[in-house]
């Protein structure tokens, strides 16, 4: 729970993936840090995200015909859940296991994946001719120098053309306001961009564009993403341009040009502990996010086997409760030091906070 940042060196970014591109537009430095830390997150990922990776793997196994019936479904489900829970325990996240008690709609989502299995054959029969159809699950698409590269969930090729499908286990739509002021649901822009980049990479590899792009949701909805070939090429060229701009600023040691701390950008950034711009931004924006910085003043022990920490932030004294008693000595060694606590639970009424299973302290 108490960590120190490991030594790291900012490296040139050799590649960008379609799934990273959109978030790198708003803060390119996020990609720089991810690359420098070997894409290993510096903060724990929440239970829903871990569960999402299990759901994604299940859909992949269904598309690969590894899961073909109820029996293989149940076997793979319990194996993957167990493997994920073992991994969480090894990483000190025993507090969010068993996953079924800590993720939203565990049983409902399991049933949704099962429905994908049940409907798969019928659904695909309606969209393609089975005679000459080839399925390519988990297919890598890349340009010739591998600077833009990613793995697409499923490609289906047949006589009438190619369909690229990407599976999404979370929310697919976001609200947008049209010209008349009416709120409508649109596909999340990052997903559209991701698929259009795949389309252009497919073109670069095969000299032909796919005929259709689809997002497949847990409800087994096939959501079509409309596209023009020229638009896909434009996005691809912009991705190359971004990569070149990032590397230009790295070689000039000018990170200020590519870092952009905002609530939206940083909220889910796993590299916050390594981002000095974020740490600086946090000193005046700590009320807007779930992280806190400050000097440790005092440690209090409570009768419920937890400890609390008094933190001096600017001129305010903030209390953080719910920290594990077994870490008391470690926290006492931090008295007088400046620390940052990430992933706290805060309330709107007070600056005081409570630790969660995901709280991590960096000194």
* First vs last C-alpha separation in the chain: 11
Nearer to ligand SF4, 27 or 165 (CB): 27
* Tally of CA atoms within 13 A in the half-sphere of 297 that contains its CB: 13
For 220: left if phi > 0, alpha if psi spans -120 to 50, otherwise beta; the answer is: left
* Residue from 16, 21, 30, 203 binding ligand SF4 (CB under 6 A): 30
Three-class SS state of 72: helix
Which of 76, 277 has the CB closer to ligand SF4? 277
Q: Which of 96, 165, 275, 292 binds ligand SF4 (CB under 6 A)?
A: 275
Name residues whose C-beta falls within 8 Å of residue 107's C-beta, 6 or more positions apart in sequence.
Answer: 100
Environment class of 68 (CB within 10 Å of its CB; exposed 0-12, middle 13-18, buried 19+):
middle
> Which of residues 203 and 342 has its CB atom nearest to ligand SF4 in the complex?
342
At 349, list the tokens. 């009424």
- DSSP string for 119-137: HHHHHHHHHS-STT-EEEE
**Pick from 13, 55, 215, 269: which binds ligand SF4 (CB under 6 A)?**
269
Q: Which of 19, 158, 265, 352 binds ligand SF4 (CB under 6 A)?
A: 265
Stretch that binds ligand SF4, among 91-99, 160-168, 205-213, 275-283 (CB under 6 A): 275-283
Pick the closer one to ligand SF4 by CB: 120 or 272: 272
Joined together, the tokens standing for residue 339 give 């620390």
Out of 261, 294, 308, 322, the residue judged to bind ligand SF4 by CB under 6 A: 261
CB of 114 to ligand SF4, least distance (A): 37
E-assigned strand segments in 50-209: 134-142, 149-158, 161-168, 173-177, 183-187
Residue 285 binding ligand SF4, by CB under 6 A: no
One residue of 93, 164, 255, 266 binding ligand SF4 per CB under 6 A? 266
Residue 223 or 338: the one with the smaller Cβ distance to ligand SF4 is 338
Kindly state the number of chain residues that form the binding site for ligand SF4, as judged by CB under 6 A: 15
Choices 212-220, 273-281, 312-320, 350-358 (CB under 6 A): range interacting with ligand SF4: 273-281
Per DSSP, 219 falls in state T
In whole angstroms, what separates CA 40 from the centre of its chain? 12
Binding site for ligand SF4 (CB under 6 A): 27, 29-30, 33, 259-261, 265-266, 269, 271-272, 275, 277-278
């Amino acid at each position: 729970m108490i960590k120190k940042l490991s030594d790291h060196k900012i490296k040139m970014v050799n590649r960008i993936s379609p799934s990273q591109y959109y978030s790198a537009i708003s803060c390119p430095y996020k990609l720089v840090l991810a690359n420098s830390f070997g894409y290993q997150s510096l903060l724990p990922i929440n239970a829903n995200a871990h569960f999402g990776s299990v759901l994604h793997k299940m859909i992949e196994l269904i598309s690969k015909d590894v899961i073909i019936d109820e029996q293989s479904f149940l076997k793979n489900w319990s194996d993957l859940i167990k493997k994920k829970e073992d991994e969480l325990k090894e990483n000190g996240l025993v507090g969010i296991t068993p996953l079924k008690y800590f993720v939203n709609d565990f049983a409902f989502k399991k049933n949704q994946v099962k429905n994908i299995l049940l409907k798969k054959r019928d659904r695909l029969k309606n969209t393609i001719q089975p005679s000459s159809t080839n399925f390519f699950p988990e297919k890598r698409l890349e340009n010739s120098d591998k600077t833009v590269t990613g793995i697409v969930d499923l490609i289906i090729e047949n006589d009438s053309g190619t369909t690229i499908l990407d599976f999404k286990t979370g929310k697919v739509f976001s609200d947008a306001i049209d010209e008349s002021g009416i709120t409508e649901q649109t596909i999340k822009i990052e997903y559209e961009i991701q698929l259009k980049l795949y389309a252009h990479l497919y073109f670069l590899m095969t000299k032909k564009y796919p005929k259709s792009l689809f997002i497949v949701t847990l409800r087994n909805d096939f959501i079509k993403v409309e596209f023009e070939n020229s638009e896909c090429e434009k996005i691809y060229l912009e991705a190359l341009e971004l990569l070149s701009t990032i590397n230009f600023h790295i070689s000039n040691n000018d990170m200020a040009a590519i870092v952009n701390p905002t609530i939206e950008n940083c909220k889910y950034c796993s590299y916050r502990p390594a981002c000095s711009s974020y740490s600086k931004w946090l000193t005046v924006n700590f009320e807007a996010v779930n992280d806190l910085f400050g000097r440790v003043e005092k440690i209090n022990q409570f009768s419920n086997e937890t400890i609390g920490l008094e933190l001096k932030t600017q001129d305010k004294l903030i209390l953080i409760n719910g920290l594990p008693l077994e870490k008391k000595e470690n926290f006492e060694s931090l008295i007088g030091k400046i620390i940052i606590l990430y992933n706290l639970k805060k309330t709107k009424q007070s600056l005081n906070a409570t630790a969660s299973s995901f709280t991590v302290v960096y000194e």
